[in-house]
Amino acid sequence: MSGCSGSAGGGAARRTDRAVQGVLDVRARAVLHHDRGAYIGTVDPDATGYLASQHRVFADLADVPLASWSYRLRSTGAFPLADSAHQVAARVELDYALRGYDSAPVASTEYLTFTERAGRWYVASQTDGDTSGKRSDVQPWDQGPVTVVHGAHSLVLGAGTAASLTASARLADAAVPVVRRQWPGIWADRAIVEVPGSEADMAALLGAPAGTYQGIAAVTTAELRGTGTAPADRVIVNPQAFAELSALGRSVVLTHELTHVATRTATTSRTPTWLSEGFADLVGYSDSGLTPGRVAPELAADVRAGRAPTALPTTADFAPGSAGIAQAYEGAWLACRMIDAQWGHAELVAFYQATGREGVERATRSVLGVSGGQFTDRWKAYVAKELG
């Protein structure tokens, strides 16, 4: 058992940890076997508000295709409670996988309070961690009923109607072969798309303050994680911003996000943001037929006004709410378009893969045969030519 008690008492603390893990094991089996009685039986009957919420969560999980679901007690006694003799606060890891999509379980952290009554332990709360500034991770079923739609290459789940989620599944299904043509690297050729009920719900799923993703149509967890060690990524859709896009815009966005999923294993902390975002946009716009002026209107306006960029976009330029974020994406797209046009698509893919291994400066020399400064000069000239 992996619990690590922070409370005094030695053997008593270990017995408490074993009892708490036992409650968690019952809950896990209940979720996998759709056993409402067993699941609700683990909840403190006197915690009426939490009990009602757990009835809702269990119902909201009903249609989610789970391949696995387990809890692991990580620590107890981390937070002070009013009645420490009969209550413990616990940090718990929930691991779950969606059937047919997750290559390994997704890890989620929960901060739970357990109460002992007449020698039996129950879950009493999931909010006590808030007093320490640490909050439980949010999953779609924590936000309300989850509708599930199965596409040919996609699994879409969220708060929308079946019709709206089916439309997202069709877009994701159409995007998968586009990404496959552009990215020859190994990936799962499938997508998990989550569509929360609101922009605020999107931010909660991503552990961010409300308003963080205002105006951003979708985000892939691959972008935030920046590592190739995680299981299948989620594309999280901002329902308000996504609905405001044209049909082409929605297609471009989902194709862009699925490109992040496909390239995740080749993306590391060495990969510059302009390359990961520019490549995703290159794939996203690959079937659009749009001219550079249509894809990069903000940067084109800057060029015509004599404000052409002097350096490739930095990571900070892509942060939500940053001034010039549109120009950052447009400049990144043009950088990848230039590599594709002047060196070839195979070299662009090789360059992407090499940057993840050895960094952008070395990859620029080893794959493209130019220095970083020479590449930037060629990009500036290309931007002026395409947008001037």
User: pLDDT per residue over 193-248, tens digit each?
Assistant: 999 999 999 999 998 998 899 999 999 986 555 444 444 589 999 999 999 999 99
pLDDT at position 81 is 53
Dihedral sign (CA 362, 368, 374, 380): negative
Strand ranges inside the chain, DSSP E = 66-76, 87-98, 106-117, 120-125, 147-150, 154-158, 191-195, 218-220, 234-237
Q: Give the mean model confidence (pLDDT) for residues 368-380.
A: 98
Domains detected in the chain: 11-137 (3.10.450.50), 138-262 (3.30.2010.30), 268-388 (no CATH)
pLDDT tens-digit map of 245-273: 999 999 999 999 999 999 998 999 999 99
pLDDT at position 306 is 96
With pLDDT > 90 as the criterion, what percentage of the chain qualifies? 78
Q: Give the mean model confidence (pLDDT) for residues 128-149.
A: 82
* Inter-helix orientation angle 325-342/297-304, to 10°: 90
End-to-end CA, the chain: 65
Residue the block writes with tokens 């659009």: 288
Q: Give the mean model confidence (pLDDT) for residues 277-302.
A: 97
Using a CB cutoff of 8 Å and minimum separation of 24, what contacts does 127-130 make? 128/79, 128/81, 128/89, 129/79, 129/89, 129/91
pLDDT at position 42 is 98
Q: Give the mean model confidence (pLDDT) for residues 376-380.
A: 98
Please say if the pLDDT value at position 77 is more than 90: no
pTM score, whole prediction: 0.88
Q: What is the CA 214 to chain-centroid distance, rounded?
A: 16
pLDDT at position 2 is 40
Evaluate whether 220 touches 235 at the Cβ level (below 8 Å).
yes
Tokens linked to 386: 């395409």
pLDDT at position 228 is 42
Tokens linked to 278: 């520019």
pLDDT at position 135 is 83
Mean residue pLDDT across the chain: 91
Residue the block writes with tokens 């020399």: 365
pLDDT at position 85 is 57
